[in-house]
Amino acid sequence: MSAAVDHWVAAFAPRGGTEPEWLGTSRGAALRRLRDQGFPTRREEAWKYTNPERIAGVAYRPAPLAELDADVLSSLALVPPLQDGGRRAVFVNGRLHRGASRLDALPVGLRCDVIGASASSPYPGEALESPPALAQRPFASLGDAFFDDGILVRAETGAQIAEPVDLVFLSAGDGGEPAASHPRVWVRAGARSTLAVREIYLSLDDSEHLTNAVCDYRAAEGSALTRTSVQAESGSATFLSNVAMRGERDAQLSHRAVALGAALAREDLVCELAGPGAACDLRGLYLTGDGQHSDHHTTVDHLEPHCSSDQLYRGVLGGRSRGAFTGTVVVRPHAQRADARQKNESLLLTERAEADSKPQLEIYADDVKCSHGSTIGQLDPDQIFYLRSRGVGEDEARGILIRGFAAEISAALGDETLRTAVDEAIATRLQEGTTW
């Protein structure tokens, strides 16, 4: 797919002369990786369930500059309201919207630096270096080469940041050709710190576009780091998320992903447990309706002894749609006493919905406790009959069971406002009916 790479280079490479030298060097390295790697094809096992040519082969152009009305932002239910003392960065088509953001008066121990083409962008040092988990992925290299504005969120050693940092990424078109933006996120939790970051991805219209996010999360010794991602892009959108997480000794990593929108959505997550006692807890929920395709790939790599991981992903699939989950747990020879659990559950609402599930273990140590499982099924007619026998209508009974199936994941979002917004979005999908 070298022709596709050439198109991206020609369309996205030209930039103004204000870019700092260090950023140009970083982009050049990413572009060389992309040329060496090329885009993936269906022949690669990792792309078995999603055709990458549907992404790389589209003649995308850079997303246009776009304004944002303050009233529009406040009307978006999935954007948590900005509380007193809260902090938020809003990006429109990959560029920071300073008027809608609040990054001043940060609490002690928290830093939020915007990284971009502005000559004033600070040099973040080693924080900018892509880990192997991202450097080996072509779409992550694409994002590193062509992002406009990114953000580096840092909690200093010992800092206990009580409120989450909200990162809101909005896409808007101008009626022209398909456009692409590349959100870029770096998050660093210092030793013994606590930090939570929420990423919200939304479309402001129905224009065809690609959101290609690259996110790098690292938790130092004894820290607690939480990533929450909610994606509700339009039915004309393609959404990619390339995520790397790494936890050092005794670090606690949490990951919550909710995928509600986009015609085609895929998240690739690699989580490395790189210090003894490190642990991760991964929860995912994906809903698909007519014409939607949602694909989740997770790799949890136990690199050191006494690490634990727990994964639970659930899919609710309706209409003529497809949901896929591929999860791999790797336990290295040195990583004795590993405790790993992995489960994928899919609920099919129609005969035309399709679910693919591939949980797998690669164990190279002999003192481990590991399990994996997968279930694919439909709503239980006995449960529907039970509810109907107590005066509940059939549609309402189905809705109760579906919301109950999703509730274990949405409850893990923690924040009541965001959890309620997600539950309401699910209820709206059910009420629309045509999606299922």
Average pLDDT over residues 397-410: 88
- Give pLDDT, residue 329: 97
- Give pLDDT, residue 434: 44
- Give pLDDT, residue 1: 52
Domain that holds residue 251: 2-432
What would the two tokens of residue 5 be?
């790479």
Name which of 17-26, 91-100, 147-156, 190-199 the model is least confident about: 17-26
pLDDT per residue over 323-361, tens digit each?
999 999 999 999 999 999 999 999 999 999 999 999 999
Q: How far is CA 113 from CA 37, 41, 45, 188, in A?
A: 30, 36, 37, 12
- Give pLDDT, residue 126: 64
- In this predicted structure, the answer to whether residue 13 has a pLDDT above a threshold of 80 is no
- Residue 241 sits at φ, ψ, to 5 deg, of -135, 120
Average pLDDT over residues 29-46: 91
Name which of 94-108, 124-138, 206-220, 285-299 the model is least confident about: 124-138
Among the listed residues 339, 332, 330, the one whose alpha carbon sits nearest the alpha carbon of residue 361:
330
Residue 39 burial by CB count (10 A; 0-12/13-18/19+): exposed, middle or buried? buried
Percent pLDDT > 70 in the chain is: 93
More confident residue, 47 or 123: 47
Q: How many domains in the chain?
A: 1
Name which of 7-16, 260-269, 335-344, 367-376 the model is least confident about: 7-16
Average pLDDT over residues 288-301: 95
Among the listed residues 118, 103, 124, 141, the one whose alpha carbon sits nearest the alpha carbon of residue 12:
141
Q: Cβ(314)–Cβ(325) under 8 Å?
A: no
- In this predicted structure, the answer to whether residue 278 has a pLDDT above a threshold of 90 is yes
Taking phi over 0 as left and psi of -120 to 50 as alpha, with beta for the rest, 160 belongs to beta
DSSP string, 105-147: SPPTTEEEEEEESSTTPPP-GGGGSPPHHHHT-HHHHHHHHH-
Cα 262 from Cα 292, distance rounded (Å):
7
Q: How far is CA 288 from CA 170, 192, 322, 323, 378, in A?
A: 21, 39, 7, 7, 15
User: In 10 A of CB 394, how many CB atoms?
Assistant: 11
Average pLDDT over residues 369-394: 90
More confident residue, 54 or 308: 308
Cα 5 from Cα 142, distance rounded (Å):
9
62 Cβ contact partners less than 8 Å away, ≥ 6 residues apart: 11, 12, 146, 179, 180, 181
Cα 350 from Cα 414, distance rounded (Å):
31
Q: Which helix (H) or strand (E) holds 402?
A: helix 394-410
Q: 75: helix, coil or strand?
A: helix
